[in-house]
């Protein structure tokens, strides 16, 4: 039944939406999703930063900046191990380029979510990015 529904949707799209407008619609949708992901990462980073820096004494807080990246590294390891069941999440851009060139543009759902979650944890805890 799912295949028949997909075929009906594609047939309707071919009849009523020209190829040019369909590509524009896909570009707008992709841009919207990228913007949502950016906002999620930004808000998560600010939330983690607030939790880590709010309410500490100044003299103790400065020393914790050396420990926070290690805590973030440990949390990322645990997230990958538990949430993504130890699968190789890879790196964002190389995974995308590989998927485009070798996998016909198909990216695992897990890889998309893993990049958002692990990068937010890394940046929030003061880890290196880039």
pLDDT digits (tens, 9 = 90+) for 37-64: 889 989 988 998 888 887 776 666 677 7
pLDDT of residue 29: 93
* 53 occurs within a structural domain: yes
What is the pLDDT of the chain when averaged over all its residues? Answer: 80
Given a cut of 60, is residue 122 above it in pLDDT? yes
82 to 75, 87, 95, 107, 129: CA distances (angstroms): 10, 10, 21, 21, 23
* 74 occurs within a structural domain: yes
pLDDT of residue 66: 84
Q: How confident is the model at residue 1 (pLDDT cuts 50, 70, 90)?
A: low
DSSP structural state of residue 126: T
* 129 occurs within a structural domain: no
Q: How confident is the model at residue 130 (pLDDT cuts 50, 70, 90)?
A: low
Residues of the domain holding 32: 2-124
Q: How confident is the model at residue 92 (pLDDT cuts 50, 70, 90)?
A: low
* 117 occurs within a structural domain: yes
- The mean pLDDT of 84-102, rounded to a whole number, is 69
Taking the C-alpha atoms of residue 5 and residue 9, their distance in angstroms, rounded to an integer, is 6
* 114 occurs within a structural domain: yes
Contact by Cβ (8 Å): 123, 45: yes
Report how many domains make up the chain: 1
Contact by Cβ (8 Å): 123, 41: yes
Closest among 29, 6, 1, 126 to 69, alpha carbons compared: 126
pLDDT of residue 119: 81
Highest mean pLDDT among 42-46, 95-99, 123-127: 42-46
- The mean pLDDT of 3-24, rounded to a whole number, is 86
* 41 occurs within a structural domain: yes
DSSP structural state of residue 107: -
* 7 occurs within a structural domain: yes
* 42 occurs within a structural domain: yes
């Amino acid at each position: 039944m799912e295949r028949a529904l997909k075929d009906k949707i594609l047939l309707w799209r071919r009849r009523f939406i020209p190829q040019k407008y369909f590509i524009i619609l896909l570009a707008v949708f992709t841009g919207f999703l990228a913007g949502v992901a950016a906002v999620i990462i930004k808000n998560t980073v600010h939330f983690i930063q607030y939790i880590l820096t709010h309410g500490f004494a100044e003299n103790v807080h400065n020393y914790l900046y050396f420990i926070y990246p290690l805590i973030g590294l440990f949390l990322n390891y645990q997230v990958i191990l538990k949430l993504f069941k130890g699968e190789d999440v890879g790196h964002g851009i190389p995974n995308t380029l590989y998927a485009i060139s070798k996998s016909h543009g198909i990216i695992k759902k897990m890889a998309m979510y893993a990049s958002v979650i692990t990068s937010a944890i890394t940046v929030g805890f003061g880890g290196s990015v880039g």
